[in-house]
Structure 1
Amino acid sequence: MINLLLRYINLMVITIAVLVVISFALPYFFPGDTLTNLSGIVPESDAQRAALEAAYKLDGSIFAQFWHYLNTLVNGNWGVSFTSQTSLLKEVSIAFPATIELITYALLISVIFGIPLGFLGGLWHHKPFDFGVVTFSVVSYSFPVFWLALIFITIFSLQLGFLPLSGRVNLLYDVPHQTGFILLDILRADMPNKADAFYDAIQHIILPTLSIAFVTTAIFVRFTRRSIMDVMEKGYIDAAKSRGFTTKQIFFKHGLRNALLPILPLMAMQISTLITNAMVVETIFSWPGIGNWLIQAIYQRDYPAIRIGMLVVSMFVVSLTITIEFLSRAIDPARDKFERGAV
């Protein structure tokens, strides 16, 4: 177990180091002057250029510049946005929790509905219910997330008027930022009309969450269905049947656990998909998350924001993926042995 942990820590450190190096190099590849890309200031004199170069260590070697960049990352001095003139650390700390909230709710919906549907489809495969499950998963997986989001807006917002089409909460409610999760912030806030604000926030969350969850649910359904079908065909299942166990006893005693073991690695693989879909959905619904924030930074050529935003998102995806992958191998050591043998 210790060797496995060290392997994954080593993998995470190396991957994050590569991401930091790429992030450091971005301003040199952006169009225009590197100094202007970093500072947002066009030097009007040689003295001003020399002062800016000294501040950003551009007058030193590339290693001195990289060391300066590492210090700014560790100290939280990530710079200032060109457009808002606000600290990037503050902007990311506000935008990123909104994205995490969105993908968390989408993942919960996918797990709650996708895994049970997959289990039932696998147990009753080649029956009418299974055909319905397969049809649902294929159709859901075939929908582009942006198209699905626009369909939801057209039906539930514009035509029926049931749900709001943009934003995170109505502007009438002044919710103080605490955790970054809007529902938790409303519950913790000392504000009038708290119940109304909470209900309004839930209404704003429904459409973006469902837009992301549809594709992920389809993936969980298909993967879980295939997993339970494979497990129920194993030799130990036939041995349990020969001993007189009922189908229910076999499923809960032998089938359920073994079918669930591949689900955790699947969650690791879906992290990047969830983040990507969330960034698209945030733009469509004007959800104030890191994806919408990054898109606006790209439109406005806010290079420091692009640099930090890409680094934060990449580190989050890599760290969470590697952590879940480590947990899945720790829970199921046989998977590691099988993969080593296959190689």
Structure 2
Amino acid sequence: MTRYLFRRLFLMAFVFLALSLLAFSLSYLFPGDIVQNISGLRQIDEAQRQQLVSYYQLEHNVLAQYLAFLQRIAHGDWGLSFASQQPLLQEIKLLLPATLELAAYALLLSFIVGIPLGIIAAFKPHNLIGKSISALALVGYSLPIFWWGLLLIMLFSLALGWLPSAGRIGVLYEIPHHSGFILYDILQADVKYRIEALHNALQHLLLPTVVLATFPTTVMIRFVRDAMLNVWEQNYIKTARAKGLSRGQVLYRHGLRNALLPVIRQIGLQFSTLITLAMLTEVIFSWPGIGRWLIDSIYQRNYPAIQAGLLVISTLVIAVNMLTEILHALFNPLARRG
């Protein structure tokens, strides 16, 4: 296991090195002044330009500039945003929890719904229930997320008026910012309208979570169904059936433990998909997360923000994928041996 961890950590370090090189090169690939692209300052006089050139070591070779870039990233100096002229790291700290919260709830919903439906579809794959679940998963997999989100808004927000269509919480509720996770901040807030604010936040959270969880849920259904059918054909399952165990006992004692083991790896794969789909979901529902902020930065040609957003999202996805790979290997000796 130690050798496996060493190989994985070495691979992760190599990927992070490649990512940092890509982020560093973006300042030179973006159009415009290199000093403005790095610092984020709009108006730079000659004296200030000389100070910035010396600070970013632009008069030195590329290697020295790259090492200075890594040092600035480590110290939290990510430059300023062209749009707000605020430190980028400060903006990311305010926006990232909203995206993580939405992605976490969507991932949790996909597991709660997808795993049981996948097991049911595999338990009796050829009857009406199994075929209906498989057909439903295929339809959900094919749904365009922007069309699905707008359809739910038209139905539940505009037609029925049951749920809000934008934002994280109503403007009437003023919640102090502590962690950035709205439900946790509401529970920690010392306000009289805590219950009302929590109900309102859950209403705002419902539609974006359902929309974002649709794709990973359908993937989970198909994945668990195929894994269960594959396990069901193994010799140890046939042996357990031959010993007189019922279908339910074999499923619970032997089938689930082996079929759900690869699901751990799916957490990392689905999380990276969720982060990508969260950008569209945040735009549709005006969710104040880093995905919407990054898309707005692309439209505004906010090059320092694009660079910082790419670095943060890529680092997050790589770290989660690597963590799930390690957890999968920890519970599965065959993966370590492979």
Asked if residue 23 in structure 1 is aligned to residue 19 in structure 2, the reply is: no
Following TM superposition, by how much is the alpha carbon of 1:81 offset from its aligned partner in structure 2, in angstroms?
A: 1.4
Q: Distance in 2 between matches of 1:322 and 1:211?
A: 26
Q: Distance in 2 between matches of 1:298 and 1:243?
A: 63
**SS of residue paired to 2:153:** helix
* Map of 1:12 onto structure 2: 12
Q: Give the partner amino acid of 2:42.
A: I
Following TM superposition, by how much is the alpha carbon of 1:52 offset from its aligned partner in structure 2, in angstroms?
A: 2.6
* Map of 2:87 onto structure 1: 87
Following TM superposition, by how much is the alpha carbon of 1:232 offset from its aligned partner in structure 2, in angstroms?
A: 1.1
Identity of aligned residues (%): 43
Following TM superposition, by how much is the alpha carbon of 1:38 offset from its aligned partner in structure 2, in angstroms?
A: 2.0
Q: Which runs of 5+ in 2 are unaligned?
A: none
Following TM superposition, by how much is the alpha carbon of 1:166 offset from its aligned partner in structure 2, in angstroms?
A: 0.6
Following TM superposition, by how much is the alpha carbon of 1:43 offset from its aligned partner in structure 2, in angstroms?
A: 4.1
Q: TM-score, normalised by structure 1?
A: 0.95
Contact map agreement 2:4 2:336 (CA 8 A) in 1: no
User: Pairwise mapping of residues 286-301 of structure 1 onto structure 2 (< 5 A)?
Assistant: 286-301=286-301
Following TM superposition, by how much is the alpha carbon of 1:44 offset from its aligned partner in structure 2, in angstroms?
A: 4.5
Q: Could you list the per-position Cα deviations for residues 239-296 of structure 1 after superposition, in whole angstroms to 9, with x for gaps in the alignment?
A: 1111111112111111110111111112222121110111110011110111011111
Q: CA RMSD in A?
A: 1.3
Contact map agreement 2:42 2:82 (CA 8 A) in 1: no
Q: Distance in 1 between matches of 2:52 and 2:213?
A: 47
Contact map agreement 2:107 2:270 (CA 8 A) in 1: no
Q: Give the partner amino acid of 2:277.
A: N
Q: Distance in 1 between matches of 2:211 and 2:14?
A: 34
Q: Give the partner amino acid of 1:315.
A: T
**Higher mean C-alpha displacement, 258-267 vs 137-146:** 258-267
Q: Distance in 1 between matches of 2:191 and 2:77?
A: 33
Following TM superposition, by how much is the alpha carbon of 1:334 offset from its aligned partner in structure 2, in angstroms?
A: 1.3
Q: Distance in 2 between matches of 1:280 and 1:25?
A: 27
Q: Distance in 2 between matches of 1:9 and 1:148?
A: 39
Q: Could you list the per-position Cα deviations for residues 51-74 of structure 1 after superposition, in whole angstroms to 9, with x for gaps in the alignment?
A: 331232212221221122111111
Q: Could you list the per-position Cα deviations for residues 25-70 of structure 1 after superposition, in whole angstroms to 9, with x for gaps in the alignment?
A: 101000112112223334454x443233123221222122112211
* Map of 1:135 onto structure 2: 135
* Map of 2:179 onto structure 1: 179
Q: TM-score, normalised by structure 2?
A: 0.97
Q: Distance in 2 between matches of 1:42 and 1:180?
A: 32
User: Pairwise mapping of residues 100-139 of structure 1 onto structure 2 (< 5 A)?
Assistant: 100-139=100-139
Q: Could you list the per-position Cα deviations for residues 301-336 of structure 1 after superposition, in whole angstroms to 9, with x for gaps in the alignment?
A: 221111111100000000100110111012111134
Q: Give the partner amino acid of 1:49.
A: R
Asked if residue 327 in structure 1 is aligned to residue 327 in structure 2, the reply is: yes
**SS of residue paired to 1:228:** helix
Q: Distance in 2 between matches of 1:49 and 1:205?
A: 46
* Map of 1:64 onto structure 2: 64
Q: Distance in 1 between matches of 2:139 and 2:27?
A: 42
Aligned length: 337
Q: Distance in 2 between matches of 1:32 and 1:274?
A: 33
User: Pairwise mapping of residues 241-280 of structure 1 onto structure 2 (< 5 A)?
Assistant: 241-280=241-280
Q: Distance in 2 between matches of 1:68 and 1:335?
A: 39
**SS of residue paired to 1:204:** helix
**Higher mean C-alpha displacement, 295-304 vs 52-61:** 52-61
